[in-house]
Structure 1
Amino acid sequence: MDELQNNKQKCDCGCKCKGYMILGGFALIVFVCLSVFLIGEARNAFKKYDYIGKSAETPNTISVSGEGLVTATPDIAKVDVGSSSDAYSVAEAQVKNTAIMNGIIAAVKKLGIDEKDIKTKNYNIYPKYDWQNGKNNIVGYTVTQALGLKIRDTKKTSDVLKVAGESGANQIGSLTFEIDDPEQLKAEARTEAIKNAKEKAEALVDSLGVKLGRVISFSESSGGGMVYEGYGLSKGMDTLSAPAPEIQSGENEIRSNVTVLYEIL
């Protein structure tokens, strides 16, 4: 019986030892895997730290500018017409100026200017002062109003200016001749500018002994138009028989300037 118990105890000890060995081996495997993972993460973190502040490699580039120009005859004219009236009271100045402006509107409408092409641009009332006995005294008021006119038949521009003056306008200015829808002309000018820039770039890379690569960046600025300096009519000027001024619309220039950055190979 004693021998049987001894054998049983030996068996239990052996099983326990084997269990401990298995657990120890498993723990060792986990430790090794965890250590490898942590070493890898530390290495990656070190690489990231090592590259902080270092920019990506910049390609070799060449920058060229190009210009495109398209001319066209303007199809609309724009002008500002207005009146300024003085009176002792605000109401009196308003009555005087309103009568003049309504007359101007009626006159230009008779020439075919549509309601949608007549726009009030400003309306102002301010006092007039006279310095007397060491102080400013209000001696009256001034009322001004200005209209913006769009003239779709440019041949009528001179007539519009004439009837505006005859109707009492004493402020006329900001005359411009424009293309009502310039987008197609702008596109044509841009195409010419890009072509001009590419021709310059190709000539440069031939001289440098390199090849032209892809476009890295592109920018554009555009402009054009024709503006006449405004002219005014003095308040005391007789405009009843004023002749129609000679106004020439000429041609407008639609200009595009581009800057293209190319990669060189």
Structure 2
Amino acid sequence: MYYGYYPPYWQSRHQALVPSPPARMLTVKGNGRVPVQPDIAIIQLEVLTEGESVTVAQGENARIMDQVIQALINLEVPRDDIQTTNFAINPRYDFVDGVQVFRGYEVRNEITVKISPIAQAGRIIDTAVQNGVNRVSNIRFSVEDGKVHYQEALSLALSNAIGKAEAIANAMQLDLDRIPVSIIEKEQPQPIRTFSVAAEGLSTPIEPGEMIVSAEVMVKFQY
């Protein structure tokens, strides 16, 4: 028979109600950057027409845009890589002696074109302008398999955060739990380069250079 010590009921109950000290948290930000060579260009091509009536402006716009798309197809741009992204019809007004005067309508039709390889971008832009495009904008460079590079940057960001937390803990002599309590990923925008075309018949060099794929995380540790 065991005759061990059993604490009184009131004592065990009192000990159970004693709150444990709150956990202390350390939050750090980690960044990761991976340089890559882009292999895709995505551009926006716009046709703007004006006319005294909607029918005239829209008809002229449709004729020019059809011509532009056919020219791109002739350059072996797949039709699936050409997408209409904006179409708008708006009235035009001038102010004469402080009075608003109706001048007709303007029609904007915008397509987005995916170009691969990038070496074809200059030729495609020149051809589009020669066939009636009067604005080229939002040139964005990307890579075909961007997820792989982003995951690499994400891994570097997490390692960066862990390194920061360990450095802080060592400097302040903290007993750091190196297993994160939480990891929050922050979305990073892709770089965008924008310009307009003002003249036709000019060679348009496109130099994507080096693109940086970046990732950022907020990591919380307990100590």
TM-score (norm 2): 0.83
Partner amino acid for 1:262?
F
* 1:71-110 to 2 correspondences below 5 Å: 71-110=35-74
Task: Tell me the secondary structure at the aligned position of residue 77 of structure 2.
Answer: coil
Give the SS at the match of 2:23.
coil
Larger helix share, 1 or 2: 1
The answer to whether the 8 A contact 1:222-1:257 is kept is yes
The CA deviation at 1:224 is 5.3
Which residue does the alignment assign to 2:220? Answer: 261
Q: Does the C-alpha gap of structure 1 residues 61 and 89 become closer, same or farther in structure 2, counting only changes over 3 Å? A: closer
Post-superposition CA distance 1:180-229 (Å, at most 9, x none): 33211111111111112212222222222233213222212242533222
For the 8 Å contact 1:84–1:97, the answer to whether it is kept is yes
Out of 155, 170, 185, the residue aligned to residue 191 of structure 1 is: 155
Consecutive unaligned residues of structure 1, counting only runs of 5 or more, are: 1-42
Higher RCO, Cα 8 Å, sep 6+? 2
Greater Cα shift, 255-264 or 57-66: 57-66
**Is this contact kept in 2: 1:224–1:252, CA < 8 A?**
no
The Cα shift of 1:93 comes to 1.5
Q: Distance in 1 between matches of 2:30 and 2:186?
A: 11
Question: What amino acid sits opposite 1:113 in the alignment?
Answer: V
Residue 118 (structure 1) aligns with? 82
Question: What is the aligned partner in structure 2 of residue 219 from structure 1?
Answer: 184
Q: Does 1:165 align with 2:129?
A: yes
* Counterpart-to-counterpart distance in 1, 2:89 and 2:138: 22
Contiguous gaps of at least 5 residues in structure 2: 1-9
Deviations 1:113-161 (A, max 9, x none): 1111111111222223345687544332222211111112211110111
1:2-151 equivalences in 2 (<5 Å): 57-131=21-95, 135-151=99-115
Q: TM-score, normalised by structure 1?
A: 0.71
Match of 1:210 among 174, 186, 193: 174
Query: CA RMSD, aligned part only?
Result: 2.5
Q: Summarize the Cα distance change of 1:88–1:110 in structure 2 as closer, same or farther, 3 Å threshold.
A: same
The corresponding residue for 2:210 is 251
Inter-partner Cα distance in structure 2 for 1:67 and 1:216: 18
What is the distance in 2 between the residues matched to 1:135 and 1:202?
Answer: 69
Q: Distance in 2 between matches of 1:137 and 1:99?
A: 28
Paired residues in the alignment total 209
Q: Match of 1:231, SS?
A: coil
Q: CA deviation at 1:175?
A: 0.8
AA matched with 2:29: S
CA distance in 1, matches of 2:183, 2:76: 45
Distance 1:255-1:55 versus aligned 2 partners, 3 A rule:
farther
Q: Distance in 2 between matches of 1:105 and 1:112?
A: 11
Residue 228, structure 1, aligned to residue 197, structure 2: no
